[in-house]
Amino acid sequence: MIKRSVIFFDIDGTLLNHEKQLPISTKEAIFTLKEQGHEVAIATGRAPFMFEDLRNELGIHTFVSYNGQYVVLNGEVLYSNPLNISSLEALTAFALHNNHPVVFMDHEDMKANVPEHPYIKTSIETLKISRFPTYDPHYYKGRELYQSLLFCLEGEERQYEQKFQDFDFVRWHPFSVDIVPKGGSKAKGIERIVEKLGFQQEQQYAFGDGLNDLEMLATVKNSVAMGNAEDTVKKAAKYITKSVEENGVFHGLQMVGLL
């Protein structure tokens, strides 16, 4: 009898290939895991509304979203860690001065502080989602935001890192970085779930490929980096599987003995 485990999967570059498609082998592997009694969860930088269709397709109701800031267990919110709004307001004013747009994000929607900008259009389009941020420069007022997006070129985020100590900045696109609470990560969100469900370290697995997966792969005992991951990400993982284009999730699950 296979010992019950919990497996966390990143989305972009892990579950979904670079065309944002779910490989058949990955879908079949997920359903096999569930049939065997394992707990299957998602750990992503995306907002909950950006992967609702994927959750429904795979029948997954437990997830870590916003890089650990909004955690749901079996359809119920388990943990949330909102941004410091006064610091975000100051950052937004500084970003406007630099002509760097900001997108505000809560668990339901995302709004931009400028009517339009090519950096927003180009980067959001790569996610291949149906929703696009509309204009509301005051969306941050009176609500909890779990992540924001700062749009700037690589290296330009350094000035924000020095000036705004309440936040961490994680690049996900040449034109954009995630803004998350200081110390927030997928690993912290995963901790909340495994503590609640009672899984031991040996029963915990995680698959990822991006820079926002570093803490997760370094923390989860049985971590697997995708073959398409950067070298720094691969070094953080215990195992390295094939790329997402080569059925990497399926082969990785075989490698660690879950399939």
Domain termination residue (choose one: 181, 206, 225)? 181
DSSP string, 126-161: TT--S--PEE-TTTTTTS--SEEEEE--TTTTHHHH
Does the pLDDT value for residue 8 go beyond 70? yes
Same domain, 67 and 28: yes
Does the pLDDT value for residue 148 go beyond 70? yes
Query: Which whole-number Å values give the CA distances from 221 to 51, 158, 227, in the listed order?
Result: 26, 31, 19
Same domain, 224 and 241: yes
- CATH code (residue 207): 3.40.50.1000
- What is the tens place of the pLDDT at every residue in 131-141? 899 999 999 99
- What is the tens place of the pLDDT at every residue in 94-137? 999 999 999 999 999 999 999 999 999 999 999 989 889 999 99
Nearest to 91 by CA among 41, 40, 157: 157
Flag whether 71 is in a domain: yes
Asked if 209 and 13 count as a contact pair (C-beta separation under 8 A), the reply is yes
Farthest-apart Cα atoms in the chain, separation: 61
Domain termination residue (choose one: 150, 181, 212)? 181
Spell out the residues 6+ positions from residue 2 whose beta carbon is closer than 8 angstroms to its own: 36, 37, 38, 258
Flag whether 156 is in a domain: yes
The reported pLDDT for the residue numbered 130 is 87
Number of domains in the chain: 2
- CATH code (residue 161): 3.30.1240.10
Q: What percent of the chain has pLDDT over 70?
A: 99
Does the pLDDT value for residue 1 go beyond 60? no
The catalytic residue among 10, 12, 168, 178 is 10
Nearest to 253 by CA among 1, 16, 28: 28
Q: Is 10 a catalytic residue?
A: yes
Flag whether 60 is in a domain: yes
Q: Which residue has the tokens 């909102």?
A: 82
- What is the tens place of the pLDDT at every residue in 208-247? 999 999 999 999 999 999 999 999 999 999 999 999 999 9
Nearest to 70 by CA among 88, 103, 41, 47: 47
Same domain, 31 and 75: yes
Taking the mean position of all CA atoms in its chain, how far away is CA 74? 18
Flag whether 200 is in a domain: yes
Q: Which domain holds residue 99?
A: 85-181
Rounded CA-CA distance 237/217 in Å is: 5
Nearest to 95 by CA among 65, 127, 119, 70: 119
Nearest to 80 by CA among 67, 89, 93: 67
Same domain, 121 and 237: no
Backbone angles phi, psi at 134, to 5 degrees: -95, 175
pLDDT class of 54 with cuts at 50, 70, 90: very high
